[in-house]
Structure 1
Amino acid sequence: MSFALLFSGQGTQHPAMLPWLADDALVRDMCTRLGIDDWRQSLADPGWAERNDNAQTLLTGLALAAWGQLAPLVASPAAVAGYSVGELAAFSAAGVVEPATAAALAPLRAEAMDRCAARVPGGLLALSGLPESRLEQLRVEAGLALAIRNAKDSVILGGPSAALDQAERAARDAGAQCTRLRVHVASHTPWMREAAEQFAQTLADVPFHAPRVVLFSNARDRIRDAAAARTALAAQIATTVRWDECMENVMARQVRCVLELGPGQALARMWNQRHPTVPARACDDFRSAAAIAAWLNSHADR
């Protein structure tokens, strides 16, 4: 079996996500960190679900638990990558940090980012449907940064709220498809530089290991050792997520299928649009871990 494992970012979390996930120690520990009893019930409150500290802690904890429950049923992945905050769980799945360590780091990452956002309120705006040059022109004119690049004509811009409003109006007038993401920080932009520096200081005392499987970073391409992993995990907070390059790097491993682990199907959908000959599915599509394993196994001999 040759498959890639992709960990989702935040913004698409919902109460019915990961319907097969059992209530294990990692899930209970996550609930304790968040001060809640039922994470699905908490996600039903949009205000609670969209808070950056809640979302990062919850999504990291659930991703760690989900992979912990699925991993015994499948072979080791041929490649691993995480989208935005999904890198915490991805690095853990690759053996860089222990699951408990990744879970503990999530609220610290969110806290550092929230401090920056308190000084300059901001967010993220997804744009598509225009030529790359026009998207770049909109970005420059609004004074925003390129937060995430999913494709040449599909990007996410980040920055202060007023600048996002300006860019959204201009983009709609130009005929672009616009979506204001359910986040309230300008992730992966220079406005998060202090957060990245603070998180780097936090990571300095954390035990890191070289990846046990091929691991790709949003900021540093392939991660080959502990030092590069530590640097990349902090750097991506304030630098562009080059997800299009991550997908190309994963495809170069000649995987036979791709599994998205997290809420929604955004990464699987992007993959299928870019590489339709290599099927991608999301864990949210399945009702049991056994069904996910069966789908992965069905591609083992193709």
Structure 2
Amino acid sequence: MSFAIVVSGQGMQHAEMLPWLAEDDIVRAMQRMLGIDDWRACARDPVWAGRNANAQVLLTGLALAAWAQLAPHLPAPAAVAGYSVGELAAFAVAGVFDADTALGLARHRAALMDRAAGANATGLMGVSGVSQSLLERMCEEFGLVVAIRNGIDSVVLGGLQAMLPRAVEAAERQGAHAVLLNVQVASHTPWMAEAARGFAAHVEPLSFRAAGMPLFSDAEGRVVQPPQLKHALAMQIDHPVRWDECMEGIAGRRVACVLEIGPGQALARLWNSRYADTPARSVDEFRSAEAIVRHVRKLLPTGP
């Protein structure tokens, strides 16, 4: 029995995230790609941090740097999955491609999505504690679509930016919890169809390796071989993220614990609300890499 890794997506990035993370080759490569010298200084500007072209590269690079600094001290994970853009780092953790390829894919993915979003100003909102009937009414009234399924009553909705604040207010009046996300495109919705087609064409000639560990895709469940991996990465851009199913797949591996790689604790909280007997924590909660390693090793069964 080992542990699982889940990689965060966009929306929670901030300047103080991952306080223990050291500058390494991956961080420096990420900063060069973004044309910056200090990612923390840049992330203090919420406009910069929320810009799609910055956030996707930033979060991919930081997740891969974090894992590179932890991996030598931990056993191989029993499963890995990434949430939205976190899927790029998850694929790299599973050995499908290297960190440089992941960063390049993040930059290309963001550019395609920004281009597809150019015709319409779109965004995302999170809503929880919502009934199916209320969800259907909101989607119909405000022209929204489900972008991410986190659980029975927790979803992320995509729509036009002009409609999202009104939808948040309507959800809160009905007793739900709703919040606008710091994301400037309606990821995982039909608004991104052009981006998905462009990304599929971009990855087609690239050399992918078969996943070296159980890898769960947002769009297709467990994925292993290169053709399936390429299709899954492109498909999730304009299809809903089925995170509830990713969690089910990981739970089926009977892991000892789950470690979230990235900013915030959103994925760890989702997991803990559903699988309380298998603890999940985020690396963003810790002050040192050594403390993270001790936490994971303490929860793993000891050998004979």
- TM-score, with length taken from structure 1: 0.97
In the alignment, structure 1 segments of 5+ residues that lack a partner are none
- Aligned partners of 1:256 and 1:300 also within 8 Å: yes
| Counterpart mapping for 1:1-302 below 5 A | 2-301=2-301
Shift of 1:293: 1.2
Shift of 1:169: 3.4
Q: Which amino acid aligns with 1:146?
A: V
Shift of 1:279: 0.4
Distance 1:228 1:136 in 2: 32
Distance 1:247 1:201 in 2: 29
Aligned residues: 302
Q: Which amino acid aligns with 1:221?
A: G
Shift of 1:57: 0.6
Q: CA RMSD in A?
A: 1.1
Q: What SS does the corresponding residue of 1:208 show, helix, strand or coil?
A: coil
Distance 2:218 2:297 in 1: 28
The CA deviation string for residues 39-84 of structure 1, in whole angstroms up to 9 with x for no partner, is 1111111111111110001000111111111111101000000000
Q: Which amino acid aligns with 1:98?
A: D
- Aligned partners of 1:135 and 1:153 also within 8 Å: no
Shift of 1:163: 3.2
Distance 1:276 1:20 in 2: 27
Q: What SS does the corresponding residue of 1:298 show, helix, strand or coil?
A: helix
Distance 1:71 1:249 in 2: 22
Q: Which amino acid aligns with 1:207?
A: S
Shift of 1:192: 0.3
Distance 2:132 2:218 in 1: 20
In the alignment, structure 2 segments of 5+ residues that lack a partner are none
Shift of 1:172: 2.5
Distance 1:42 1:278 in 2: 36
Distance 1:198 1:239 in 2: 14
- Aligned partners of 2:81 and 2:216 also within 8 Å: yes
Distance 1:163 1:142 in 2: 6
Q: What SS does the corresponding residue of 2:250 show, helix, strand or coil?
A: helix
Shift of 1:294: 1.1
Distance 1:26 1:297 in 2: 25
Q: Which amino acid aligns with 2:258?
A: V
- Which deviates more, 170-179 or 109-118? 170-179
Q: What SS does the corresponding residue of 1:236 show, helix, strand or coil?
A: helix
Q: What SS does the corresponding residue of 2:233 show, helix, strand or coil?
A: helix
Distance 2:266 2:169 in 1: 24
Shift of 1:271: 0.7
Distance 1:34 1:224 in 2: 31
Q: Which amino acid aligns with 1:29?
A: A
The CA deviation string for residues 6-42 of structure 1, in whole angstroms up to 9 with x for no partner, is 0000110111111111111110111111111111111
Shift of 1:175: 2.1
Q: What SS does the corresponding residue of 2:87 show, helix, strand or coil?
A: helix
- Aligned partners of 2:165 and 2:180 also within 8 Å: no
Distance 1:219 1:140 in 2: 24
Distance 1:103 1:285 in 2: 25
Shift of 1:133: 2.5
Distance 1:175 1:76 in 2: 43
Please identify runs of 4+ aligned residues in structure 1 that moved more than 6 A: none
- Aligned partners of 1:126 and 1:179 also within 8 Å: yes
Distance 1:186 1:241 in 2: 12
Distance 2:130 2:20 in 1: 39
